[in-house]
């Protein structure tokens, strides 16, 4: 039951465009495939610095390219579709029809407008390799692999000076960070299951990205309609806005009506991987009654989302019937929405979860589109009191078992993690995840290191995120200041993204990522030399830095010092 939107009143989403201050979008072309254009952001410094521009990882897509005209009604170009068709093993087909329940039965003025362009979906054919995991296993380097290698290197042709020293000087807890990322290294990491490139073959708009312990730590921002607030337009802009400030990934956690149409608008305009939790939509299709969920409804929802191009699915297949009683004495029970939906279903029916029993079939579906598993932590702790308990770890062990099944089926896999965990219990989460889940990438929410600061949980969790990122987590799911209290608005999204970006970067520095410190050093030199504009422009949030500066100190005296 989102905000009712009359089709006639539907506004074309207005998105934020244009470069960040002093920044230019630059594209480099990998030696291994010069037809590819890999984006980076180049920050110009004041001539007095006598330093080259600083290139930084760019998540913002075409929106920040001054030379691109954005038309949200058309969506972004889909160059990746050609790569996929070219390498074969896939077919266009008449996809599933959109059903009224896909949009929660919304009709008339309550139904959000359809996205104006319809694309014919692709799917894998027979046993031909489709997923990046399958190609990697076969020793084949894909365009996606070449692309992400170039992206991780920021377009450099060789390692930066002192790269090996930085790697050696870091503490990466057994990770294997290279001084320079080659496409072959990317392939080998994917083949070992240690990294994923979430890239549904129906997400032609995607700028591929790699998630793994031996690469830069990534962050995810959650967006989504809810039952009480926000419209399609707002969600599209939230996605653009989050990636503008550094979100590598976006999850669309929409509930209520219009989920299908909202997601289509987001996907067709998304340069980043989009993740979802399909059980949320399936639940809407049974009017919110968990007990009424069926495998068939869920299966149909998976296919619906596979055809749209969702890049990864959170699937809480590790919440088994036998584990539910383990949460009985918890302070906060089951706090994962997906976990509690399935617990309700299992308890009502006294039956094992279909997410578990049908797991091989789920794999078969997801493989055909190369949708990456994000095996959900439905029993994650919702309070520090519940951290690292038997319920949590029993599920984690099951996720390890399922990881092997998914790999055997040819799928890419990452594993979700907690939650609320005090600092001294964080590392064991990472160590156990690596062991139980065979080094599949870990993707954690926070963790929040204390429960006593609602309103500041971006910080309580940013502390845990920086630490677990350092210990080996590959992607950090952001938390905004509104966590536990309400839905994040635009400002909250930005604060959440910047907080997690700095946490991820702190982790990269500590792991000894070979080029991470270059930006710190450039900013510190600017600070030491009182090049204020360079300081602002090199910072994660130039607007806020400039704004704070101007509030209290005389401007020009400092700015020209």
In angstroms, the CA 256 to CA 121 distance is: 25
Closest CA to 174 of 500, 427, 464: 427
Structure tokens of 88?
A: 């074969």
* Smallest separation, CB 267 to its own copies (Å): 25
User: For residue 288, what are the contacts with CB-CB under 8 A and spacing of at least 6?
Assistant: none
User: For residue 479, what are the contacts with CB-CB under 8 A and spacing of at least 6?
Assistant: 445, 446, 448, 457, 458, 461, 462, 465, 496, 499, 500
In angstroms, the CA 560 to CA 22 distance is: 17
Q: State how far the alpha carbon of 235 is from the alpha carbons of 155, 170, 263, 344, in Å.
A: 31, 39, 9, 29
Is 299 or 427 the residue whose CB approaches its own copies more closely? 427
Kindly tell me the number of DSSP H helices and DSSP E strands found in the chain.
20, 15
Is 304 or 534 the residue whose CB approaches its own copies more closely? 534
* Smallest separation, CB 423 to its own copies (Å): 4
Is 401 or 489 the residue whose CB approaches its own copies more closely? 489
In angstroms, the CA 194 to CA 412 distance is: 10
Backbone angles phi, psi at 554, to 5 degrees: -60, 140
Residue 392, helix vs strand vs coil: helix
* Smallest separation, CB 28 to its own copies (Å): 22
* Smallest separation, CB 226 to its own copies (Å): 9
Is 187 or 482 the residue whose CB approaches its own copies more closely? 482
Is 319 or 335 the residue whose CB approaches its own copies more closely? 335
* Smallest separation, CB 543 to its own copies (Å): 9
Is 39 or 481 the residue whose CB approaches its own copies more closely? 481
Helices (H), 437-541: 457-471, 490-511, 517-528, 532-538
Is 62 or 481 the residue whose CB approaches its own copies more closely? 481
* Smallest separation, CB 391 to its own copies (Å): 15
* Smallest separation, CB 33 to its own copies (Å): 31
Is 67 or 551 the residue whose CB approaches its own copies more closely? 551
Q: Which residue in this structure is represented by tokens 């290279």?
A: 178
248 close to 219: Cβ distance less than 8 angstroms: yes
302 close to 95: Cβ distance less than 8 angstroms: no
* Smallest separation, CB 419 to its own copies (Å): 12
């Amino acid at each position: 039951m989102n905000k009712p939107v009359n089709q006639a009143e539907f506004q074309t989403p207005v998105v934020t465009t244009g470069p960040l201050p002093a920044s230019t979008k630059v594209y480099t072309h990998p030696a291994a495939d010069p037809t590819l254009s890999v984006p980076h952001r180049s920050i110009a410094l004041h001539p007095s610095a006598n330093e080259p521009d600083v290139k930084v990882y760019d998540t913002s897509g075409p929106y920040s390219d001054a030379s691109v005209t954005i038309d949200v009604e058309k969506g972004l170009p889909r160059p990746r579709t050609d790569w996929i068709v070219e390498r074969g093993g896939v077919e266009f087909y008449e996809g599933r029809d959109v059903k009224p329940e896909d949009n929660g039965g919304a009709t008339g003025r309550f139904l959000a407008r359809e996205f104006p362009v319809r694309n014919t979906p692709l799917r894998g054919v027979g046993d031909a390799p489709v997923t990046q995991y399958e190609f990697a296993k076969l020793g084949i380097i894909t365009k996606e692999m070449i692309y992400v290698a170039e992206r991780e290197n920021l377009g450099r042709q060789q390692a930066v000076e002192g790269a090996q020293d930085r790697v050696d000087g870091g503490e990466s807890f057994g990770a294997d960070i290279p001084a320079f990322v080659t496409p072959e290294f990317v392939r080998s990491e994917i083949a070992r299951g240690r990294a994923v490139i979430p890239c549904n073959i129906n997400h032609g708009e995607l700028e591929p990205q790699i998630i793994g312990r031996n690469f830069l730590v990534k962050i995810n921002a959650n967006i989504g309609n809810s039952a009480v607030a926000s419209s399609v337009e707002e969600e599209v802009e939230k996605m653009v806005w989050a990636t503008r400030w550094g979100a590598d990934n976006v999850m669309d956690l929409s509930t209520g009506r219009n989920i299908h149409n909202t997601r289509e608008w987001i996907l067709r305009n998304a340069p980043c991987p989009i993740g979802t939790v399909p059980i949320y939509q399936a639940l809407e299709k049974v009017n919110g009654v968990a007990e009424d969920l069926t495998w068939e409804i869920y299966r149909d929802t998976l296919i619906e989302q596979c055809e749209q191009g969702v890049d990864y699915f959170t699937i809480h297949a590790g919440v088994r019937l036998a584990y539910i009683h383990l949460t009985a004495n918890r302070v906060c029970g089951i706090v994962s929405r997906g976990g509690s939906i399935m617990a309700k279903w299992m308890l009502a029916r006294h039956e094992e979860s279909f997410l578990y029993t049908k797991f091989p079939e789920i794999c078969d579906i997801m493989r055909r589109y190369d949708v990456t598993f994000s095996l959900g932590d439905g029993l994650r702790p919702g309070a520090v009191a519940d951290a690292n308990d038997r319920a949590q770890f029993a599920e984690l062990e099951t996720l390890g078992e399922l990881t092997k099944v998914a790999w055997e089926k040819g799928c890419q896999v990452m594993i979700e993690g907690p939650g609320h965990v005090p600092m001294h219990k964080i590392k064991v989460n990472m160590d156990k995840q690596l062991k139980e889940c065979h080094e599949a990438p870990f993707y954690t929410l926070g963790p929040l290191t204390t429960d006593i600061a609602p309103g500041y949980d971006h910080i309580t969790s940013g502390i845990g995120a920086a630490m677990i990122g350092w210990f080996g987590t590959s992607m950090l799911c952001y938390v905004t200041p509104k966590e536990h209290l309400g839905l994040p608005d635009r400002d909250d999204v930005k604060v959440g993204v910047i907080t997690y970006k700095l946490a991820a970067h702190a982790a990269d520095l500590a792991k000894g990522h070979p080029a991470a410190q270059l930006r710190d050093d450039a900013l510190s030199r600017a600070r030491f030399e009182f090049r204020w504009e360079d300081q602002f422009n090199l910072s994660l949030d130039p607007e806020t830095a400039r704004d704070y500066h101007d509030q209290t100190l005389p401007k020009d005296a400092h700015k020209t010092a």
